[in-house]
Every structure is written in structure tokens, then in C-alpha cells.
Structure 1
């Protein structure tokens, strides 16, 4: 069969690597792809938001399955375009992808169906938001309602910070129209855990857990980013937490979306906070996390194409989802200055060191070809992932592997998975 993957980052490289392991797949295309994805797929010069061109390509090339990796096209309705043409596509329709596209929608959904989450209020008027802050308890969290590349969340410790945050989101439009409406919610404390789930509209199957590191600098300092590294599984996501979430979060979310006429088929990303009062939902996403996919997918035993087809056909309950009894850690190599200002076009060397290295991966996030060289082309450049028998070994292996590859202005956090030390 022929598979088309839509996207250009580390997540899509991880998806392509998994698809490439399927003995059912003869040919992989990726639109638009990147220099690393080109190693396992034929890259096509079509943008992720060019829905008709993507569908035209799928028709012309007789694509058997299209996998949408990115959030923007999902929220924009690319799945609807493909389905109207009778094309087989994996991902939620526009009316279901709103669970990520609007934080106000997802918070209201959780309130309506008693899914545990932080207390909150929605605002589309900056003056009303500022007035609310006057009597709110600090610290407090401000969230842009729309998509903001994973950066539209501000944690404000003081009233002045919170007021400045409202100004930044709603008046200065730091994230464009994403800040037209904001969510102000209580600040929760506890361990963060990410759980990706396969969904077929009725059934939901959680994958192994992961934990992301959002802040740009060590010790969780600096600005929020798209993610500087991750590890899987989370040692804090135990059997008791898993049972609670399956009963109170995962299936209730599926049931809620169905009750709203928004059957969710695809990947539901559930961001959790393990509070003193039990697990609560921080956020939903409508696709694989990035870089969570880079540690979860390498540990999955199943053929990813089989699982995705089962989701599309409403037969996920027939799948026995399995993961390796090991661990994985991903360290993101970024361009120094990310997420604010950084230089591109730096030559990357040492990528060949990952060839034929079992248990080691280098997933390209922001790269491109410059003649016969591969150069940096984004803030997050590479995701170096390594497996190990446990988290301690995986972390050691991942950091050792970061030395195998070089480029000018290479930057990384040095404490990815540091929480592992606390449970050794």
C-alpha cells in the first residue's frame, strides 16, 4: 500500500519511521517533509494547509492511507476535505479537532461532563479579564484559546505579571487571533504526564505514558517552547492513576464528544496534572505530541498502519495494543536563541553515526537540504532518542548520542528526565 504523511517535523519523522516498519507499506510520501524524513519517504512540495492540492496528490497517486500529523490542518478541516472525496485518512474531522483548536470549548466540555480539570473562566474582553484578575488567587494560568505552537500558555506569579499577560495575548496579539479569547484558570501543582490515545469514535486505547519538558532552559526556567525533550514511561503514572484516568477521563471524553455529535477518530493527546486531589486534565490535543511521539512510537510493538486502520473502521476494540518493557528518552537539539531569535542554515555533521544503531534514533524537526549538505532550518532542529532497559539507562544513552551530531549554535537542555533521579 501507499501512505502519505502530512507534516514536516520530528513527530512526522517518528510516524514515518514507524510506518516504514510495516510490511504492508510499499511506498511512503510526506508533504512537505524535511531532510531526515527524505531518508524513509519521498518528500512532496505541498504545504500542510494546501488541502485541495494534498487531496489531488492522494487521488493521482492512488494513496491508500493519509496520516495527518499536524494540528493546524486538522483544526482547519483537512480530514473533511479528504473524506468528501472518498479518500482514506487518519485524524479527527474539523468538528472534533476543536477539542484542541479551542481551549474554551475543551474546558466547557470538561465542566459539562464532569471530567476533572482546573477551575477556570473564559474571556473575550480584555477589560473583563483584567477585572477578574483583581480578585483572583496567584499564581494563575493564562491560555490563548486558539493554536499557538504549544507556546500560548502563561504562568503568572503576580497580579502585575497576569495583567501584562492579558495585554500580551489579547491586545498585543502575541499569538495573533489565538488570543482573541483566553482562558484564565487556577494554577495546579503536581507532576505533569502526557498520555496519547488511539480513538475510533467509540473506543479509546491509551498508549504508554510520557513526560515533556516545555521550558527552554535547565531547571524548567526560561520561556515555554514546543518541547525540549521527553521521556517514557513516566514513573509517576502508576496502575492506580491509569485506572482512574481510564474511568474518569479517557472514556468519558470519548463519550462526551460522541454525545456532542463530534465523534473523535484519531489521536487524542491528554495532558494530565497529578495533583494532591487526583489527576486532572491540563489540556487536550488532537494529534501525536511532539516530542512525545519520538519516545512513545519507538516502544510500540504493533504495526502502526494496522492500528490506524482499525481506528478508521471503528474496530479499535479488536486491537491488543502493546509496548516494549523498556524506556526511551528524547533530547531536543535546538538552535541557540530558540524560541525567540535564532540563525538557520548551519551545516549538520555526524548524522551517519546513527545508521544501523539499534535503539538509537535521530528525528529531524527543522532541517533541509542545501545542495548535498543538511542544514538547520528551525528552532528545534533534531530530536535524539535512545532506548534503555530503564529510564536511567535510556537517559544516559540519549545524552551520549547527542555528542554524535554537531552544528554551530547547537543548544540543548542538560536535565531532560531529571525527575527520574527522584524515584531511583
Structure 2
């Protein structure tokens, strides 16, 4: 079987490793891939348009394509591949708006009674400023479009909120993503990520994860694509899980079917757990990163069987190891803003699985950094503490210039 995986980070390396672990004979293609994916499959070289990727998949008789990165989804790759008669895991262009268009997603939540923080939408900078003058306390300001996971700013007071508005709407730090914004009520609580598989009829949730989004320890500083994660999320109690199913998962399924937003693929629920309720902050229509890297080492089920079940119209259950997992992201100092690449990585060859390459390539026998997030160190254990120790023991084996990581993942 030939499988094409779209994306070039640690998540895509993790998808590929899991597929190979379960099915030794699969042939993997990646676009654009990285140094890790090159070892387990074949990276498609040269820049490819979405149409060219469709032609490649058709020409090479690719059986299934798995979309890792949201960029491809929002640009409509699923529609293109389906027009070619190709099997692809991911939402069509309209359903991908659940991630790519926050105003669209919020309207969907409101229509189907999905519990979410109160919010207001603004297209005009002056009107947004006027609204902030009436606000008391903290607010969350979000770009309408995607911004590589960085378009969400928590403002603790009016000055911070006005500064964030200026950054988004006037200075255009996030480009067109900031043409419209959402100002949302701030909820005090703990975040949770629940990824799931959607087969057009059922949403099958994975284990809960706790994602560490901020660059600084104790969740300080600016948002990143994710600096680490643990599974299971210790704040996801049985009562909160029941609340999530009743007030978020079930009405989401109803809405997806009613609005004809059905697809074969992944649905990610970004949640906030308060003292006694859970709220939906956002949807993603693909696997999270680094949550996927934290979850796959715990998945007992054959991942390819899970994916193929949708095309075969079979209901599937997903089974998990009774272990805990901790992922620590090693990054280039300066990420998510300015950072330098091209640094030699020492110690990579001494690592034992699970670990994943996010932004590194092999050149002339040396591993070289190539991106902001470079490596994902994963530890497993009977407790989060055991998993955390194993992950940080792996971190100690790695060296490169301008190496940065958070020291509090899972603490």
C-alpha cells in the first residue's frame, strides 16, 4: 500500500512511524517532509501546487493521502483529490472553515448550542477599541484566520488589549488573518485537547491531552505551535468527560450532519475546563502537534485499520495502552519569532524511540536544525512523573547551539 502524508513537522514523522510500526510493508511518501521522514519514506522534492500533488498521487497510484498540516486543508486539497477520484483523510474546503474561519466556527457553535465562551466579532478597529473601553478585566483576542497557532492573545487589562488590537488590525502581524477579530470572554481554568476520528457518522474520541502552548514556563509569554504535551490530561475527570460528550461532542455531531459538513478525518476539540464545566474554545480539523506525538506511542490499535474503516463503512473502536506519555519540544532559541537555523545537532543517534524529528535535516552525515521546533522527545511511564523523567532524560542527550525547551512540561 502507498500512503502520502502532507506536512513537514514532528506530527507527520509520528504519523509515518506509527503506520510503519503497525504495517511494515507500507510505502510512505511525504510532502514536504523533513530529515526524519526521509529515513522512513520518500520526500517529494521541489515545490508542488495542490494540483501537482493530485497528479503525483494519481500517477503513483497512492492508495490513501493523510493531511497533517491545516494549510493544505484550508486551501482545498481534499476537494482537488476527490475530483481525481483519490482517497484522502481530511475535510473538504467548506468543513475546513471550522478551523480556518473562527467566526464561521463560533456561529456553528452558537447555532447548535455548543457551550463556548461569550464573544463579539469586529471588522472595524475603531469599533473594537470602543468595545474594549466598556470591558472590565481580562479578554481574549483572536484573529479570524489561522496564524500557525499563534493568533490568540490573552490581554489582562485594557492597555494590553488595545496593544494586541493594534498588532493584529493595524500592524497586520498575522496578515489577512487579522482583518476580522473575535473578542472573547476570558475563562479561568485548565485547557484540554481532545482529538478524535470522524467517519461521517460517528466521532470517536482519543485520550485527552494537555498541551503547553506558551513559549515560557508556567504558561507565560507568547503563543507557539506547542512546546510540549502530556497524556492523559489530569484535569479531564469522569464528570468533565460526561459534560464534554453531552454539551460539546454530541451537538457537534448533530451540527456536522445537519450542515452537511461530514468527512473522513480528524476533529480536534480545544477545551477550557472551569471549576465544574467544560467549554469549547476552538475546533481544528486535523491532528494536533505535539499532541499527536504524545498519543501515538500509547495507541494499541492499528492506525491504518482505523483510517481504512471509514472507507469500508465499518465502525471502529480505538484501544490504548494503560500508560502515560510526556512530550518535550526542543526548539531554536527565538522561536516562534526570529531564530537561526543550520546548527549541528549532537546526540540524535543515541536516542531510543519514541522521538520525532520536527525541523531537522541530514547533510553530509550531520543532523542540522532547519526550523523553529526541532525535535520531540517522548517518554512513557506508569505515571506522568515517570513519563516526564524519561522524556527529560532524552533531552539531556541532545545538544545544539541556541537550544531552548521548557523545563516544566508535566510538572
Sort the TM-score into its range (normalised by shorter chain): over 0.9
Contact 2:240/2:276, CA 8 A, preserved across alignment: no
* Deviation sequence 1:399-418 (CA, Å, 0-9, x none): 01101221111111100012
Secondary structure class of the residue paired with 2:234: coil
Aligned to 2:279: 280
Tell me whether 1:201 sits opposite 2:203 in the alignment. Answer: no
Distance 1:147 1:119 in 2: 20
* Deviation sequence 1:214-264 (CA, Å, 0-9, x none): 111112122111111110001111222212212221121122122112114
For structure 2, the 5+ residue unaligned runs are none
Distance 1:312 1:24, change over 3 A: farther
TM-score by length of 1: 0.94
Secondary structure class of the residue paired with 1:118: coil
How far apart are residue 155 of structure 1 and its match?
A: 0.4
Aligned to 1:134: 133
Tell me whether 1:361 sits opposite 2:354 in the alignment. Answer: yes
Distance 2:262 2:46 in 1: 28
For structure 1, the 5+ residue unaligned runs are 419-424
Q: Which segment drifts farther, 20-29 or 203-212?
A: 20-29
Structure 1 stretches of 4+ moved >6 Å? none
How far apart are residue 371 of structure 1 and its match?
A: 2.7
Secondary structure class of the residue paired with 2:236: coil
TM-score by length of 2: 0.97
Contact 1:254/1:263, CA 8 A, preserved across alignment: no
Equivalent positions of 1:148-167 (< 5 A) are 148-167=147-166
How far apart are residue 24 of structure 1 and its match?
A: 7.0
Aligned to 1:390: 383
Contact 1:197/1:268, CA 8 A, preserved across alignment: yes
* Deviation sequence 1:76-113 (CA, Å, 0-9, x none): 11011000010011111111110000111111111111
Secondary structure class of the residue paired with 1:305: helix
Contact 2:30/2:44, CA 8 A, preserved across alignment: yes
Secondary structure class of the residue paired with 1:173: coil
Secondary structure class of the residue paired with 2:131: helix
Contact 2:204/2:317, CA 8 A, preserved across alignment: no
What CA RMSD, in Å, does the superposition of the two structures yield over aligned residues? Answer: 1.3
Aligned to 1:416: 409
How far apart are residue 22 of structure 1 and its match?
A: 2.7
How far apart are residue 46 of structure 1 and its match?
A: 4.9
Tell me whether 1:327 sits opposite 2:308 in the alignment. Answer: no
Contact 1:229/1:332, CA 8 A, preserved across alignment: yes
Q: 1:340 aligns with which of 337, 362, 368?
A: 337
Distance 1:277 1:125 in 2: 36
Distance 2:169 2:270 in 1: 24
Distance 1:312 1:398 in 2: 36
Equivalent positions of 1:13-162 (< 5 A) are 13-23=13-23, 25-47=25-47, 50-162=49-161
Equivalent positions of 1:219-298 (< 5 A) are 219-298=218-297
Contact 1:258/1:264, CA 8 A, preserved across alignment: no
Q: 2:370 aligns with which of 371, 374, 377?
A: 377
Aligned to 1:422: none
Secondary structure class of the residue paired with 2:3: strand
Contact 1:202/1:314, CA 8 A, preserved across alignment: no
* Deviation sequence 1:334-388 (CA, Å, 0-9, x none): 111111211100011211112xx3xx32211111233332200111111111111
How far apart are residue 25 of structure 1 and its match?
A: 4.3
